[in-house]
Amino acid sequence: MARMKFLCDADRCIECNACVTACKNEHEVPWGINRRRVVTINDGKPGERSISMACMHCTDAPCAAVCPVSCFYGTVDGLVLHDKDLCIGCGYCFYACPFGAPQYPRVGNFGGRGKMDKCTYCAGGPQQDNTAVEYIQYGANRLAEGKLPLCAEMCSTKALLAGDGDIIAGIYKERVQRRGFGSGAWGWRTAYGETITA
């Protein structure tokens, strides 16, 4: 059975934010909610690295472990999805998640946040596949259409991979074996000289 995974190659990510834009456009995610974002460390310095982050669909998801209303559920292919009809917006999942994936539509009085929203791996939610009500609550369901998450499909440098974990791990392994990685990658010393390593 395939197990869905994201894999971001930090050597290739150029912080273009196309993945963020593609996600927002595909699901019509409003201002204030980012299901995906690009994090950069050592910005503007040698060794700068960027990585595209969203829900990582953990095997033993801490968000699901702390949810007081058990709104999270896992699919057979390894996705962690949630039911907005059950969510009470308590925010526990936000504190539990090491990736900052859960998002909330508002900050209100007495801690009211509204229903949690997060990356669905473009797989919708517990409504019938590709119905209007599923789109309204969870966004597009590309997996049910036989496609992959748009963030990965849009990535111009092919840094962000999505799909069957075994296959994308094989793709990354082959890249490293053929091209190297970091300052050992093909073309690095031509572009950055001999002194800059990462």
Partner 1 sequence: MMRDRSEEKPARRGLLGAAGVAIGLAAAPAAGFRADGGTGGLPPEKENEAAKRAPRYRETDHVRAFYRTNSY
Binding site for partner 1 (CB under 8 A): 1-2, 4, 27-30, 32-33, 73-77, 79, 81, 84-85, 87, 105-106, 114-115, 117, 123-124, 126-129, 131-137, 139, 141, 143-144, 146-148, 152-153, 158, 161, 163-164, 167-168, 171, 174-175
DSSP 8-state class, residue 185: S
From the number of C-beta atoms within 10 Å of its C-beta (0-12, 13-18, 19+), residue 85 rates as exposed
Query: Least Å distance between CB 88 and partner 1?
Result: 11
Give the residue among 21, 19, 16 at the shortest CA–CA distance from 31: 21
Kind plus residue range of the DSSP H or E element containing 25: helix 18-27
- DSSP element (H, E) containing 53: strand 49-53
CB of 164 to partner 1, least distance (A): 7
Nearer to partner 1, 68 or 193 (CB): 68
Please, what is the minimum distance in Å from the beta carbon of residue 157 to partner 1? 10
Structure tokens at 34: 């980012």
Report the nearest approach of partner 1 to the CB of residue 95 (Å). 20
